[in-house]
């Protein structure tokens, strides 16, 4: 399940370093988090959709790598991003 253009643009504007920024770690974590939330809701009703479950687990692992990178490079940005997105830190 891909993100809608409007949601993606909103995430990039809110978490990116500049308008339309999709490459920064903060923007990618925000987009992955939104996609993970959508997939989680999908899997609550379609619990036998194993390909979506596999995709969800891959995205969680990818987000973990981005967060680890961000925590190492910029701990203050990491803490701010965790608070904004409501993730456990």
Residues 24-65: tens digit of each pLDDT: 999 999 999 999 999 999 999 999 999 999 999 999 999 999
Whole-number pLDDT of residue 20: 83
Whole-number pLDDT of residue 25: 94
Q: What is the DSSP letter of 49?
A: -
In this structure, what token pair is assigned to residue 79? 């803490």
Topology classification of domain 5-85: Helix Hairpins (1.10.287)
What are the angstrom distances between the C-alpha of 57 and each of 29, 47, 73, 85? 14, 14, 25, 18
Whole-number pLDDT of residue 49: 96
Dihedral sign for Cα 59, 64, 70, 75, please. positive
Q: What is the DSSP letter of 75?
A: H
Number of neighbouring beta carbons within 10 Å of residue 36: 18
Domain-wise residue ranges, the chain: 5-85
């Amino acid at each position: 399940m891909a993100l809608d253009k409007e949601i993606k643009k909103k995430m990039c504007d809110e978490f990116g370093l500049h308008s339309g920024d999709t490459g920064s770690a903060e923007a990618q974590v925000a987009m992955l988090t939104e996609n993970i939330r959508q997939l989680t809701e999908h899997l609550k009703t379609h619990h036998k959709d194993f390909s979506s479950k596999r995709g969800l687990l891959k995205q969680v692992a990818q987000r973990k790598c981005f967060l680890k990178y961000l925590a190492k490079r910029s701990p203050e940005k990491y803490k701010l991003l965790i608070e904004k997105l409501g993730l456990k830190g």
